[in-house]
Structure 1
């Protein structure tokens, strides 16, 4: 009896681990087909630029500390990759690489209806020693390096609006039907 139970369990495990999906047919013939699904999102340079720009636009419009629809007097965008962007608290003094012209144009396009903006090299030049913004009502934006995974892309972003006001988080983007879209924050985030 034990041998029959072991054989039945073994047969069930083998059947459960199989890639073959049975297809019903009429008649005595049985056919199987192998399910093949390629749901891996694209990861080209163009996709990297697109998701970074979409994330920055969503951060400024929807995921800032004031809530969706808030308008800043000016958006100051860091011209380098922000190594401190994202919610993982990786604070470092090392500057990231310069954003390319193509990356900057894509980000500008994503911010076209978000109010005035400009590119800055050093965020420290736009705040006081007390961390208050030199331009009242402005926000300093940073974007980190895009990370692609099987679920889409994670884009680390930061928005500092002065004093103890800021948000650092990773935005999840998914690829569906040939387009990228922002789902929302994923993982740890820091808000002050």
Structure 2
């Protein structure tokens, strides 16, 4: 009888151990999602600065209604040229930027930003939904650990901004700490 009870105990223990280690395919409630990539954090910090602080209409009575980001690096963004000259951003990067931009007007990536532009209209009304078209350049790491990122915003015939942000890690977060080079304002 003891042998039978011992055998049963071993089988039961093995079954319980197997159940405990089985992957159910469900996310573990105690695990958190991975942090966003460094690249998305840099782009998001620059985007927030561009839309909420430096945008010529950031404090206008009519706030920005939509943000249309050109889908891919636009190396001349600092010169207000929001023309993509690199491959499209990958889906994970776009999802991370969008997730970190929940406090901004709706963000949409577009392969054809001209579909939202109406150059005949002026001011903030030059883009669909009182929006802005944004171009972001590839990031350029500097020897001092900072990152330079060209950013351009177009919101109509007489509404635009282009500059190069300097970003640095401050308290573990990528933060715009200044600009470098010329600034273009329309």
Q: Answer 1 or 2: which has greater helix percent.
A: 2
Q: What is aligned with 2:91?
A: 101
User: TM-score, normalising length from structure 2?
Assistant: 0.68
- Matched-pair contact (CA < 8 Å) for 2:56–2:161: yes
| Offset at residue 109 of structure 1 (A) | 2.4
| Offset at residue 94 of structure 1 (A) | 6.2
Structure 1: gaps of 5 or more residues: 1-44
The 3 A distance-change label for structure 1 pair 180 and 94 is closer
Q: CA RMSD in A?
A: 2.6
Structure 2: gaps of 5 or more residues: 1-35
| Offset at residue 166 of structure 1 (A) | 0.5
| Offset at residue 98 of structure 1 (A) | 0.5
Given candidates 42, 52, 55, the residue that maps to 1:61 is 52
Separation (CA, whole Å) in 2 of partners of 1:120 and 1:73: 16
- Matched-pair contact (CA < 8 Å) for 2:68–2:133: yes
- Matched-pair contact (CA < 8 Å) for 2:80–2:161: no
- Matched-pair contact (CA < 8 Å) for 2:167–2:176: yes
5 Å matches for 1:96-175?
96-128=86-118, 130=120, 133-149=126-142, 150-175=144-169
Separation (CA, whole Å) in 1 of partners of 2:77 and 2:82: 10
Q: Aligned pair 1:75/2:67, yes or no?
A: yes
Secondary structure class of the residue paired with 2:108: strand
| Offset at residue 168 of structure 1 (A) | 0.7
Secondary structure class of the residue paired with 1:128: coil
